[in-house]
Every structure is written in C-alpha cells, then in structure tokens.
C-alpha cells in the first residue's frame, strides 16, 4: 500500500499513514466515521475531510474497495481491494467476506450473453449470522 503510494508520487503524511494502518489492520470493513474515530486516538486534530480525501485517493489507485450496503454510509476494505462478495448480518450489522463463492464464471457468462464489457461488481448477501440466530 505504502509502496503503491510512493510509486505514484503521493506523499506519505502521518494522517495518511494512520488511515492506512486502520485499513490494513482491520477486516471489519470500517466506515469513514469509524476510521476517523480510530485515527483521532493518535492524531486528535485530524479532520474528517482528510479521511474522506485519503479514502478517495486510495480508491483511485485501487488500494481500497468501497462497499455500499444501503446503510446510508459506506464501508471500506483495505485488505482485499478487488471486487468480492460480502455477507451482512441484518441483526448485528457485521460484514464478512464471502470468499467461498466464485463469481468470475458468472461474470464471464454474463458478458458473453449480453455483450457487456464487465469491469466491476458489487455483491451483497443479507441475512442472520449464526450467533444472532442463537440470540432469538
């Protein structure tokens, strides 16, 4: 991630490093607000706008994946910055990766059938996770 920024002549500021650290250190798909709260622990004067600017930059260089689950705020995955399916619990709102399903074939089949040049996808399954099922 750091290398990718250096390659493209972007500056490595403390604020950016802090955002990178949160993203790289979490597989919980944090929101911008959540990243902001975490970054403020070490850099209390950081602005929320800076978080958004950093996320926009990371999106552009394909180092972070933006996930919209219709929850009115987006989530970010810095661990797997390529399209992949997610599994969201409607009860506890946890978001996990659903790597066990491979949709590249589906995507290829769709492209062949329709003539579309498919460049991206966003796939979210919603339900109740095993833990929340127990909590009836």
Partner DNA sequence: ATATTTATCGATAATGATTCTCTGTTTTGA
Partner DNA sequence: TCAAAACAGAGAATCATTATCGATAAATAT
Binding positions for DNA, rule: CB under 7 A: 10-13, 15-16, 31-33, 43, 45-50, 52-54, 56, 72-74
CB nearer to a copy of itself: give 11 or 105: 105
Residue 91 near Zn ion by CB under 5 A: yes
Structural contact between residues 89 and 53, judged by C-beta atoms closer than 8 angstroms: no
**Could you tell me which of 62, 53, 51, 82 has the C-alpha nearest to residue 4?**
62
CB nearer to DNA: give 45 or 136: 45
# residues near a copy of itself by CB under 8 A: 34
Sequence-separated (6 or more) residues with CB below 8 Å from residue 30 = 22, 23, 38, 75, 76
Which one of the spans 9-17, 55-63, 71-79, 117-125 is the region binding Mn ion (CB under 5 A)? 71-79
**45-64: contacts with Zn ion (CB under 5 A):** none
7, 45, 82, 120: which one binds a copy of itself (CB under 8 A): 120
* E strand or H helix that includes residue 36: helix 32-42
Q: What is the C-alpha separation between 46 and 29, in angstroms, rounded?
A: 21
Residue 92 near Zn ion by CB under 5 A: yes
């Amino acid at each position: 991630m750091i290398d990718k920024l250096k390659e493209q002549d972007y500056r490595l500021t403390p604020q950016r490093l802090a955002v990178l650290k949160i993203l790289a250190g979490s597989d919980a798909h944090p929101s911008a607000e959540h990243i902001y709260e975490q970054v403020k622990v070490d850099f209390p004067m950081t602005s929320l706008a800076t978080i958004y600017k950093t996320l926009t930059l990371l999106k552009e260089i394909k180092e972070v994946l933006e996930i919209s689950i219709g929850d009115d705020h987006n989530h970010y995955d810095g661990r797997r910055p390529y399209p992949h399916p997610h599994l969201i619990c409607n009860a506890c709102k946890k978001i996990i990766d659903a790597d066990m399903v491979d949709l590249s074939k589906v995507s290829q089949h769709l492209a062949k059938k329709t003539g579309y040049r498919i460049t991206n996808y966003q796939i979210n399954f919603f339900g109740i996770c095993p833990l929340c099922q127990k909590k009836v």
